[in-house]
Amino acid sequence: MKQSVLMLSTILSFSCGDGGVPAQGGATGDTTGAGTSSSGDVSSEESSGDISQGASADTSNLLDTGATTEGNSSAETGGSACGNGRLEDGEKCDDGRDNGEYGACASDCNGLAAHCGDGVTDLVDGETCDDGNANGTDECNIVCQTPGTLLGEVYEVFPTDLSPQASGIRATYWNGHLTYVLGGSLTTVWEIDTEMVSTIDLREVAAGAYVWPLGGAIALDDGNLLLGGGLSSRTIYAFDDTLTPVWGNLDLPGPGNDGVVGLAPTLGGFMMGARDRNTTFGYEYSSYWAIGGTNTGALQWESIETLDGYDGIYARDFRGLSNDQAVLLITDSAAGESRLRIYDEDGSVITTEVLGASYRTLCVGDNGFHARRVSGNEVSSFDNSGNQLWSATLEMPTFAVGGIVARSACGVRSNGSSIMGYAESTDDTRQNGQVRLYVAGYDGGDIQWVTQSPLMPGDGFSDLAVFVEEDESRVWVATGSNDGTGQRYHYAIAVAI
């Protein structure tokens, strides 16, 4: 069971527009439902983290306060007067006992009380800005928060007799919540309440069904959680809401047993990207492939390419796109280039694009995706068809501690701009230090804002996962770490964007 050692939560009690904390959503990636997720990476070793989008939100009426207005009356106290909860002649609204409260009807029933979008910054109600519009990409976002505002942190410790080292982290929207999965011989599933900025549950998967390293995590449309990974063997499990395996360890196609690099949800099933290679002299080969399966694990299609005598092809990442297709990132180490292969949900190859540089990870948004090079922090942006839109070298933030920045991950907004997460350790041995997270928003390659978290205990941290909420009002960045004493640390922060 998890042990809640420290919880630093800035709970947003304000109502922005509709009298409540904004609904959740996110970026597109290893997700089913709201939000998007992205891929993390390691500067000096192989790894695959990710970035995904969150819960669905109805943002069609961003400045709606929920007040009872013309055509929408509700009796509450009786009588014929402002405050009875009924809309009557001469009144513009009437919320009864809530009249005059933030986000509700004014006390004289002649309009709205203070609310997000009225052009007045209501600090007492939790606003940090209010520019009077619903433009979520300017200096004040759609829920009246200044981009870069640190909204809260969630920190949990899971004591274990197993090795606590996290190997891979992915974000998805499962069981009605933002869910982070951290792989390893201890595989933990961490569900977060994004509205209250707090932990709902932190659990370990059933014994023997761990995934090391974790390559993908998605919610299937039958409600189960699908995890995939593996290093010397491909591992895939579907779990129910008790984290008991429903099915797994299938006899998957492919010449060898190397790992799953990503998963993508489909209607009634999933797609999976995987890789294998043999570097033994005289037996060299490389292979990469995608498969499609049903919610019960039945194989529907496979697309496999094997190159005998050459071990330099390496599948890096696999992500679901917002148009129900998926993209596989493949690196050719000898040629110093990468390929993007986009699959339809029936296994058809839609397009293959050759990139003139070697990329490591992908992150996916509503209208396209980014491929990222770890070396030089370079990002290239593509639409869902694989057409390159732009490329930029992202400016690095100034790190407060001056320690070791060993993890980073990217996210994508619907307008194509980048969100980056970084993790810094205070100790270059990764044994006795602390961890600090950073989130930066970009316009092209230029930083528009950067936010840092407090220093937290933990070291030897895993990859990062970035999760952009569907209404793009907030981004979550999470990591896992250990301190060498048999405890795994889970740390996430929420930042306004």
- Following DSSP, what letter does each residue of 8-62 receive, concatenated? ---------SSSSSPPP---SSS-SSSEEEEEEEESSS----EEEE------TTT
- Binning pLDDT at 50, 70 and 90, where does residue 1 land? very low
Q: For residue 343, what is the DSSP state? A: E
Whole-number pLDDT of residue 311? 85
Helix, strand, or coil here: 70? coil
As given in the structure block, the two tokens for residue 217 are 């995590």
| Residue with the two structure tokens 């180490």 | 333
User: Which has the minimum average pLDDT: 9-13, 328-332, 461-465, 466-470?
Assistant: 9-13
Both tokens of residue 219?
């919610």
List pLDDT tens digits, range 339-367: 999 999 999 999 999 998 899 999 999 99
179 token code pair: 């869910």
CA pair distance 381, 394, nearest whole angstrom: 12
The beta strand positions in 87-197, using DSSP E, are 150-159, 169-174, 177-182, 188-193
Q: Which residue has the higher pLDDT, 310 or 420?
A: 420
Query: Which range has highest mean pLDDT (65-79, 124-138, 392-406)?
Result: 124-138
In this predicted model, which residue has the larger pLDDT, 310 or 190? 190
Whether 79 has a pLDDT exceeding 60, the answer reads no
Task: Measure the CA–CA gap between 83 and 198, rounded to whole angstroms.
Answer: 35
Q: How far apart are CA 462 and CA 435, in angstroms?
A: 11
Biggest CA pair distance of the chain:
91
For residue 294, give both structure tokens: 């049903």
CA distance 306 to 288: 7
What percentage of residues in the chain have a pLDDT greater than 70?
79
Range 432-438 average pLDDT: 83
Q: Which of 425, 424, 394 is nearest to 410 (CA)?
A: 394
Confidence class for position 412, pLDDT limits 50, 70, 90: very high
Per-residue model confidence (pLDDT) at position 400: 73
pLDDT in tens, 142-194: 999 999 999 999 999 988 777 777 889 999 999 999 999 999 888 999 999 99
CA distance 379 to 382: 10
pLDDT of 430 higher than 80: no
Higher local confidence (pLDDT), 137 or 265: 265
Of 358, 337, 339, 318, nearest to 228 (Cα)? 318
| Calpha distance 478→375 (Å, rounded) | 22
Which residue has 């500067």 as its token pair?
Answer: 43
Q: Give the mean pLDDT of 123-152.
A: 92
Ranges of each domain in the chain: 35-56+144-496
The torsion angles phi and psi of 433, rounded to 5 degrees, stand at -100, -165
Q: Which residue has the higher pLDDT, 75 or 99?
A: 99
Question: Is residue 486 predicted with pLDDT exceeding 80?
Answer: no
Structural tokens at position 206: 């059933």
Per mean pLDDT, which range of 51-55, 92-96, 281-285, 385-389 is the poorest? 51-55
**Token pair of 373, please?**
């090079």
**Dihedral of the alpha carbons of 143, 144, 146, 152, in degrees to the nearest 10:** -60
Phi, psi of 317 (to 5 degrees): -155, 155
Calpha distance 6→145 (Å, rounded) = 26
Read off the pLDDT band of 140 (50, 70, 90).
very high
Whether the pLDDT of residue 401 is over 80: the answer is: no
Give the pLDDT confidence of 275-300 residue by residue, as tens digits: 988 777 677 888 898 999 999 999 99
Alpha-carbon torsion (455, 430, 202, 58), positive or negative:
positive
Contact 154, 492 (CB under 8 A): yes
Q: Pull the structure tokens for residue 58.
A: 């109805």
Neighbours of 232 (CB within 10 A): 10
pLDDT above 50: residue 395? yes
| 3-class DSSP assignment, residue 377 | helix
Q: Residue 368: name the closest of 409, 406, 414, 336 by CA.
A: 414
| Predicted local distance difference test score (pLDDT) of residue 384 | 94
The SS3 of residue 125 is: helix
Please say whether the beta carbons of 137 and 158 come within 8 A.
no
308 closest CA partner among 328, 341, 346, 280? 280
Nearest Cα neighbor of 346 from 326, 366, 322 is 326
Q: pTM of the prediction?
A: 0.83
pLDDT for 454 beyond 80 = yes
Q: What is the mean pLDDT of residues 59-73?
A: 42
Report the pLDDT value the prediction gives residue 440, as an integer from 0 to 100: 96
Give the pLDDT score at 285: 84
Would you state the pLDDT for residue 411?
A: 94
- Vertex 5: Cα angle to 424 and 425 (nearest 5): 10
d(CA 394, CA 411): 13
Q: What is the CATH number of domain 35-56+144-496?
A: 2.130.10.10
**pLDDT at 256 (0 to 100):** 65
Q: Are 117 and 129 in contact (CB under 8 A)?
A: no
Contact 83, 106 (CB under 8 A): no
Q: Cα(481)–Cα(456) distance, rounded to whole angstroms?
A: 10
Contact between 154 and 199 (Cβ < 8 Å) = yes
Which of 168 and 34 is assigned the larger pLDDT?
168
The band of 461, judged by pLDDT with boundaries at 50, 70 and 90, is low
pLDDT band at 11 (very low <50, low <70, confident <90, very high): very low
What integer pLDDT is reported at residue 51 of this predicted model? 39
What pLDDT is recorded for position 125?
Answer: 93
